[in-house]
Structure 1
Amino acid sequence: MSRRDRVSSPCVSICALDENDVCVGCQRTSDEIMQWPRLSDEERREVLEKVALREEKVMIH
């Protein structure tokens, strides 16, 4: 599998952490951002599932 085929980062170049250590741009935690390059595609998909849940919470508030 080439790098091009890997699960892409959700980064939108709006990099700022909120009071909960979550990026307001991509909704990943600082740990998830730092670990992203080393994660397998399966692990990246797990992070993206968490991101989706965080995005839902942001929309509700």
Structure 2
Amino acid sequence: MSKETPCIAVCMMDPKTKLCFGCGRTLPEIARWHRMETAERLAVMEGLAARMVDAGLVPMPPRSERG
């Protein structure tokens, strides 16, 4: 994946928090990701780790690391 995306090819949404288990984005963010300006993408990416911690989610490892 590109450095301008947090996607790790997990793509599973937590029904409680509405966040992706893999990257922490919401469905609306994922849907418009390629239409966002670089600065907006980077701003979203900067807050994803804290967002997942606040939601009590532990990110899943990328598929390549799960074997």
TM-score (norm 2): 0.67
Deviations 1:3-56 (A, max 9, x none): xxx852110111111121100001111111111000001100111122121233
Q: Which runs of 5+ in 1 are unaligned?
A: 1-5
Alignment of 1:37-56 (within 5 A): 37-56=34-53
Q: Which runs of 5+ in 2 are unaligned?
A: 59-67
| Percent of pairs with identical residues | 35
Amino acid paired to 2:13: L
Counterpart of 1:12 in structure 2 is 8
Once residues 51 and 17 of structure 1 are traced to their aligned partners in structure 2, the CA distance between those partners, rounded to angstroms, is 14
Which structure carries more relative contact order (alpha carbon 8 Å, separation 6+)?
2
What CA RMSD, in Å, does the superposition of the two structures yield over aligned residues? 1.8
Counterpart of 1:34 in structure 2 is 31
How many residue pairs match? The answer is 54
Once residues 20 and 52 of structure 1 are traced to their aligned partners in structure 2, the CA distance between those partners, rounded to angstroms, is 14
Structure (1/2) with the larger helix percentage: 1
Q: Is the 8 A contact 2:4 2:42 kept in 1?
A: no
